Amino acid sequence: MMKVALIGLGSVGKGVAGVISRKDLGITITGIADSKSGCVDPDGLDIANLLLNKSRNGCCGDRQVTAADVIKKADYDALIEVTPTNALSGEPAIGYIKTALLRKKHVVTSNKGPIALAYKELHTLAQKNGVALRYEATVAGAVPIMHTLEYGLAGNEILALYGVLNGTCNYILTRMADEGLTYEQALMEAREMGYAEADPTYDVQGIDAAIKLVILADALRLADDEGCTIRLIAEAIPRKHILRVSPRILEKNHPLVVDGTLNALTLETDLAKEITLIGKGAGSTETASAIIGDLLFIRDRYARRT
Ligand SMILES: NC(=O)c1ccc[n+]([C@@H]2O[C@H](COP(=O)([O-])OP(=O)(O)OC[C@H]3O[C@@H](n4cnc5c(N)ncnc54)[C@H](OP(=O)(O)O)[C@@H]3O)[C@@H](O)[C@H]2O)c1
């Protein structure tokens, strides 16, 4: 049985806990924490009861037990770190992840902060301690882009990557183009539908600049007249050292013209040529899918230890 500690019990954490308790995956949760409480049981926690407690009282365990306590003391093979993204400091997630790696525990995270800000340091620490650091869920939610790049396309040179990577932004653009909503109306609707995180600042700031640019150019209407539409495209062309995100006019039948909260990535490679992956970029069980995939990968890879 693989033992895991789960830090964060919001949308993603609840999804992970739900999947582990519903499916017979050979995974048990021995430690859990949110921002206010925590609890541990080396024999495995009663997840249904914890989730009920969380929905009734807003906390999952003992208010005297912190997330740091659970990470330092619980008996687990892998830490699942799913706390909010802090794009400026990466904390407290970076500290949580380092503590677990130093204890020679594997780490799986959906948190972009630590990976964007401290990947090299964390990766080196994981290697030194003989454990894995996996982060499939940090990009494009359920879409297995990291695994595809690392294993499915091993041996290929990635010539270019183009992606629709912000589901909230894509939802807004779709609603503006299809229903003629204003940016403000579409943004409000996206918030009401819960597509933005509890603190939507990072999402909205990025969207704001990009979509206002689109609006300024009155580009959606013009694009529509030409049988085209607009998507916010993230682009990486390694050989040219290009990394950029910009609104682009695409033909409506282009593979990257996905609707609503979907994410899409097109990879151009020397051997496989062009591959496009499309799937849910966010969501509780969708993101849990990527985390569970990382955990099962670790279990297979490190079979003798877990
Ligand atoms: N939602 C998605 O679809 C999605 C998709 C891909 C990646 N992600 C990433 O996954 C992470 C989690 O997202 P989410 O949507 O689940 O966020 P969320 O709903 O805001 O939940 C965050 C959880 O972390 C807990 N938390 C906050 N500060 C903490 C701290 N200092 N120590 C321990 N726990 C703390 C919160 O506790 P309380 O419950 O007590 O407030 C809450 O349970 C984020 O980094 C996000 O960017 C999310």
Per-residue confidence in pLDDT tens, the chain, 306 aa: 999 999 999 999 999 999 999 999 999 999 999 999 999 999 999 999 999 999 999 999 999 999 999 999 999 999 999 999 998 899 999 999 999 999 999 999 999 999 999 999 999 999 999 999 999 999 999 999 999 999 999 999 999 999 999 888 899 899 998 898 988 888 888 888 877 665 667 777 777 777 777 777 688 888 888 999 999 999 999 999 999 998 999 999 999 999 998 999 999 999 999 999 999 998 899 999 999 999 999 999 997 554
User: What sign for the dihedral angle of Cα 192, 84, 72, 116?
Assistant: positive
In 3D, which of 287, 107, 59 has the Cα closest to residue 95?
A: 107
Alpha-carbon gap, residue 279 to 289, rounded angstroms: 12
Q: What angle do CA 4, 18, 294 make, to 5 degrees?
A: 45
Read off the DSSP letter of residue 62: B
Q: In whole angstroms, what is the distance from residue 289 CA to residue 188 CA?
A: 28
Q: What is the pTM of this model?
A: 0.94
- Report how far residue 74's alpha carbon sits from residue 68's, in angstroms, rounded to the nearest whole number: 10
3-state secondary structure of 179: helix
Q: Give the ligand 1 atom nearest the CA of 14.
A: 16
Closest ligand 1 atom to 83 CA: 24
Q: CB of 197 closer than 6 A to ligand 1?
A: yes
SS3 state of residue 73:
helix
Of the candidates 172, 155, 154, 156, the residue with the CA atom closest to the CA atom of residue 164: 172
Q: Whose CA is nearest to atom 30 of ligand 1?
A: 35
112 C-alpha to center of ligand 1: Å?
A: 11
CA of 10 to the centre of ligand 1 (A): 5
What is the CB neighbour count within 10 angstroms for residue 30? 22
Cβ of 137 below 6 Å from ligand 1: yes
Atom of ligand 1 nearest to the CA of 8: 24
Quickly list H helices, the chain. Answer: 11-22, 47-57, 67-73, 93-102, 112-128, 145-147, 167-179, 183-192, 201-216, 219-225, 284-301
Residue identifier of the C-alpha nearest atom 42 of ligand 1? 10
Bridge partners, residue 249, by sequence: 230
Task: Tell me, using a 6 A CB cutoff, whether residue 283 lines ligand 1.
Answer: yes
Contact between residue 168 and residue 194 where contact means Cβ atoms under 8 Å apart: no
**Is the CB–ligand 1 distance for residue 95 below 6 Å?**
no
Q: Which amino acid, one-letter code, is at 134?
A: R
Q: Is the CB of 13 under 6 A from ligand 1?
A: yes
Angle at which helices 167-179 and 201-216 cross, to 10°? 40
